[in-house]
Amino acid sequence: SQQGEEDPQALSIQEGENATMNCSYKTSINNLQWYRQNSGRGLVHLILIRSNEREKHSGRLRVTLDTSKKSSSLLITASRAADTASYFCATDQAGTALIFGKGTTLSVSS
Amino acid sequence: GAGVSQTPSNKVTEKGKYVELRCDPISGHTALYWYRQSLGQGPEFLIYFQGTGAADDSGLPNDRFFAVRPEGSVSTLKIQRTERGDSAVYLCASSLGQGNEQFFGPGTRLTVL
Protein backbone atom coordinates (compact mmCIF):
# COMPACT_ATOMS: atom_id res chain seq x y z
CA SER A 1 0.00 0.00 0.00
CA GLN A 2 1.15 3.54 -0.61
CA GLN A 3 0.92 6.04 2.20
CA GLY A 4 2.01 9.21 0.45
CA GLU A 5 -0.04 11.02 -2.10
CA GLU A 6 1.59 13.70 -4.22
CA ASP A 7 -0.37 16.55 -5.69
CA PRO A 8 -0.55 17.49 -8.48
CA GLN A 9 0.04 14.33 -10.51
CA ALA A 10 1.51 16.42 -13.30
CA LEU A 11 2.83 19.98 -13.51
CA SER A 12 3.98 21.96 -16.54
CA ILE A 13 5.80 25.27 -16.13
CA GLN A 14 8.17 27.59 -17.95
CA GLU A 15 11.83 27.96 -17.13
CA GLY A 16 12.37 30.49 -14.37
CA GLU A 17 9.05 29.83 -12.70
CA ASN A 18 8.68 28.17 -9.32
CA ALA A 19 7.27 24.66 -8.94
CA THR A 20 5.42 23.52 -5.85
CA MET A 21 4.56 19.90 -5.16
CA ASN A 22 2.59 18.66 -2.19
CA CYS A 23 2.57 15.38 -0.32
CA SER A 24 0.04 14.08 2.16
CA TYR A 25 0.40 10.99 4.31
CA LYS A 26 -1.71 9.02 6.73
CA THR A 27 0.21 7.91 9.79
CA SER A 28 2.86 9.39 12.08
CA ILE A 29 6.39 9.41 10.73
CA ASN A 30 10.03 9.61 11.80
CA ASN A 31 11.04 11.52 8.73
CA LEU A 32 9.99 12.34 5.19
CA GLN A 33 12.31 12.23 2.19
CA TRP A 34 11.97 13.72 -1.28
CA TYR A 35 13.46 12.06 -4.34
CA ARG A 36 13.82 12.89 -8.03
CA GLN A 37 13.68 10.25 -10.75
CA ASN A 38 14.62 10.64 -14.38
CA SER A 39 13.43 8.21 -17.04
CA GLY A 40 12.08 5.65 -14.58
CA ARG A 41 15.44 4.53 -13.26
CA GLY A 42 17.47 5.40 -10.15
CA LEU A 43 16.14 7.82 -7.58
CA VAL A 44 18.23 10.80 -6.53
CA HIS A 45 17.89 11.80 -2.89
CA LEU A 46 16.97 15.48 -2.50
CA ILE A 47 16.15 16.26 1.12
CA LEU A 48 15.32 14.46 4.38
CA ILE A 49 13.21 16.34 6.90
CA ARG A 50 12.67 14.91 10.37
CA SER A 51 9.38 14.95 12.22
CA ASN A 52 10.61 17.66 14.64
CA GLU A 53 11.65 19.97 11.79
CA ARG A 54 9.37 22.38 9.96
CA GLU A 55 11.49 23.62 7.07
CA LYS A 56 14.73 22.74 5.27
CA HIS A 57 16.58 24.29 2.37
CA SER A 58 19.05 22.91 -0.10
CA GLY A 59 20.10 25.19 -2.94
CA ARG A 60 16.97 25.98 -4.96
CA LEU A 61 14.90 23.47 -2.98
CA ARG A 62 12.74 24.27 0.02
CA VAL A 63 10.83 21.59 1.90
CA THR A 64 8.23 22.17 4.60
CA LEU A 65 6.62 19.67 6.93
CA ASP A 66 3.38 20.10 8.85
CA THR A 67 2.90 17.05 11.07
CA SER A 68 -0.44 18.31 12.37
CA LYS A 69 -1.82 18.23 8.81
CA LYS A 70 0.31 15.23 7.80
CA SER A 71 1.57 17.08 4.78
CA SER A 72 4.79 18.29 3.17
CA SER A 73 5.63 20.51 0.25
CA LEU A 74 8.61 20.75 -2.07
CA LEU A 75 9.31 24.09 -3.71
CA ILE A 76 11.78 24.37 -6.58
CA THR A 77 12.65 27.99 -7.28
CA ALA A 78 13.80 29.40 -10.62
CA SER A 79 13.20 26.08 -12.38
CA ARG A 80 15.36 24.86 -15.26
CA ALA A 81 14.73 22.43 -18.08
CA ALA A 82 17.04 19.99 -16.26
CA ASP A 83 14.53 19.87 -13.37
CA THR A 84 12.16 17.93 -15.64
CA ALA A 85 11.62 14.64 -13.81
CA SER A 86 9.28 12.76 -11.52
CA TYR A 87 9.35 13.76 -7.87
CA PHE A 88 8.41 11.42 -5.04
CA CYS A 89 7.86 11.88 -1.36
CA ALA A 90 8.60 8.92 0.88
CA THR A 91 7.74 8.51 4.53
CA ASP A 92 9.78 6.64 7.09
CA GLN A 93 7.52 5.38 9.86
CA ALA A 94 9.67 2.94 11.78
CA GLY A 95 13.19 3.48 10.50
CA THR A 96 13.01 0.70 7.96
CA ALA A 97 10.91 0.78 4.82
CA LEU A 98 10.18 3.97 2.94
CA ILE A 99 6.60 4.29 1.76
CA PHE A 100 6.37 6.16 -1.54
CA GLY A 101 3.57 7.98 -3.27
CA LYS A 102 2.90 7.80 -7.00
CA GLY A 103 4.87 10.93 -7.70
CA THR A 104 4.47 14.25 -9.46
CA THR A 105 5.68 14.53 -13.04
CA LEU A 106 7.26 17.94 -13.57
CA SER A 107 7.86 19.29 -17.04
CA VAL A 108 9.88 22.50 -17.43
CA SER A 109 9.94 24.01 -20.88
CA SER A 110 12.39 26.59 -22.16
CA GLY B 1 32.83 7.99 -3.54
CA ALA B 2 31.05 5.20 -5.39
CA GLY B 3 27.31 4.99 -5.09
CA VAL B 4 25.06 1.96 -4.98
CA SER B 5 25.57 -0.29 -7.97
CA GLN B 6 23.27 -2.95 -9.36
CA THR B 7 23.82 -5.68 -11.89
CA PRO B 8 22.63 -6.48 -14.43
CA SER B 9 21.06 -3.23 -15.62
CA ASN B 10 18.60 -5.22 -17.72
CA LYS B 11 17.48 -8.83 -17.49
CA VAL B 12 15.15 -10.58 -19.90
CA THR B 13 14.00 -14.05 -18.94
CA GLU B 14 11.30 -16.52 -19.76
CA LYS B 15 8.36 -17.35 -17.55
CA GLY B 16 9.28 -20.06 -15.08
CA LYS B 17 13.00 -19.32 -15.00
CA TYR B 18 15.12 -18.39 -11.98
CA VAL B 19 16.87 -15.01 -11.76
CA GLU B 20 19.35 -13.36 -9.44
CA LEU B 21 19.77 -9.61 -9.09
CA ARG B 22 22.82 -8.17 -7.37
CA CYS B 23 23.30 -5.04 -5.28
CA ASP B 24 26.55 -3.47 -4.09
CA PRO B 25 25.79 -0.88 -1.40
CA ILE B 26 27.80 2.18 -0.52
CA SER B 27 30.87 1.15 1.50
CA GLY B 28 30.18 1.36 5.22
CA HIS B 29 26.40 1.34 4.91
CA THR B 30 25.01 -1.26 7.27
CA ALA B 31 21.41 -1.03 6.07
CA LEU B 32 20.30 -2.33 2.68
CA TYR B 33 16.85 -2.25 1.12
CA TRP B 34 15.18 -3.76 -1.92
CA TYR B 35 12.23 -2.09 -3.65
CA ARG B 36 10.23 -2.86 -6.77
CA GLN B 37 8.77 -0.22 -9.08
CA SER B 38 6.14 -0.81 -11.70
CA LEU B 39 5.43 1.64 -14.51
CA GLY B 40 3.69 4.77 -13.32
CA GLN B 41 3.98 3.84 -9.65
CA GLY B 42 6.28 4.73 -6.79
CA PRO B 43 8.72 2.13 -5.48
CA GLU B 44 7.29 -0.54 -3.19
CA PHE B 45 9.31 -1.97 -0.32
CA LEU B 46 10.37 -5.60 -0.47
CA ILE B 47 12.96 -6.33 2.22
CA TYR B 48 15.37 -4.60 4.62
CA PHE B 49 18.69 -5.89 5.91
CA GLN B 50 20.57 -4.61 8.92
CA GLY B 51 23.96 -6.22 8.61
CA THR B 52 23.60 -9.81 7.48
CA GLY B 53 20.10 -10.40 8.76
CA ALA B 54 16.77 -9.64 7.14
CA ALA B 55 15.23 -7.32 9.72
CA ASP B 56 12.00 -6.82 7.79
CA ASP B 57 10.85 -8.97 4.87
CA SER B 58 7.20 -8.01 5.07
CA GLY B 59 7.17 -6.61 1.55
CA LEU B 60 8.15 -9.81 -0.24
CA PRO B 61 5.06 -10.72 -2.30
CA ASN B 62 5.34 -14.51 -1.92
CA ASP B 63 7.78 -17.32 -1.25
CA ARG B 64 9.17 -17.20 -4.78
CA PHE B 65 11.14 -14.15 -3.67
CA PHE B 66 14.17 -14.47 -1.42
CA ALA B 67 17.15 -12.25 -0.63
CA VAL B 68 20.47 -12.79 1.09
CA ARG B 69 23.31 -10.65 2.36
CA PRO B 70 25.78 -13.23 3.70
CA GLU B 71 28.68 -10.92 4.58
CA GLY B 72 26.77 -7.78 5.38
CA SER B 73 27.71 -6.02 2.17
CA VAL B 74 26.60 -7.31 -1.25
CA SER B 75 23.03 -8.56 -1.48
CA THR B 76 21.33 -10.83 -3.98
CA LEU B 77 17.60 -10.85 -4.67
CA LYS B 78 16.49 -14.24 -5.97
CA ILE B 79 13.25 -14.90 -7.80
CA GLN B 80 12.15 -18.45 -8.53
CA ARG B 81 9.66 -19.57 -11.17
CA THR B 82 9.34 -16.06 -12.57
CA GLU B 83 5.95 -14.83 -13.73
CA ARG B 84 5.09 -12.07 -16.19
CA GLY B 85 3.76 -10.02 -13.30
CA ASP B 86 7.27 -9.93 -11.81
CA SER B 87 8.34 -7.59 -14.63
CA ALA B 88 9.41 -4.31 -13.03
CA VAL B 89 12.43 -2.24 -12.11
CA TYR B 90 14.09 -3.65 -8.99
CA LEU B 91 15.81 -0.96 -6.95
CA CYS B 92 18.35 -1.36 -4.19
CA ALA B 93 19.16 1.29 -1.61
CA SER B 94 21.57 1.58 1.29
CA SER B 95 21.91 3.83 4.30
CA LEU B 96 24.02 4.32 7.41
CA GLY B 97 21.21 2.84 9.45
CA GLN B 98 17.64 3.27 10.48
CA GLY B 99 16.16 6.70 10.00
CA ASN B 100 18.87 7.99 7.68
CA GLU B 101 18.84 8.94 4.03
CA GLN B 102 18.46 6.01 1.69
CA PHE B 103 20.59 6.20 -1.45
CA PHE B 104 19.37 4.28 -4.45
CA GLY B 105 21.13 2.40 -7.20
CA PRO B 106 20.20 2.69 -10.90
CA GLY B 107 17.97 -0.39 -10.75
CA THR B 108 17.64 -3.62 -12.69
CA ARG B 109 14.87 -3.73 -15.27
CA LEU B 110 13.47 -7.26 -15.23
CA THR B 111 11.33 -8.40 -18.14
CA VAL B 112 9.63 -11.77 -17.95
CA LEU B 113 8.41 -12.98 -21.33
Q: Compare all CA atoms of chain A with the CA of B57 and give the residue at the minimum distance.
A: A97
Q: Over the stretch A7-52, which tens digit does the pLDDT of each residue have?
A: 899 999 999 999 999 999 998 999 999 999 997 678 999 999 999 9
Is B103's CB within 8 Å of A45's CB? yes
Count of CA atoms in the C-beta half-sphere (13 A) of B25: 28
Which sign does the torsion angle of CA A28, A34, A40, A43 carry?
A: negative
Determine the pLDDT at residue A3. Answer: 61
As a whole number of angstroms, the distance between CA B97 and CA B110 comes to 28
Nearest to B42 among A88, A96, A97 (CB): A88
Question: Is the confidence at residue A1, as pLDDT, over 60?
Answer: no
Share of chain B above pLDDT 70, in %: 99
Q: For residues A71 and A23, is the Cβ–Cβ distance under 8 A?
A: yes
Q: Over the stretch A64-91, which tens digit does the pLDDT of each residue have?
A: 999 999 999 999 999 999 999 999 999 9
Is B106's CB within 8 Å of A30's CB? no
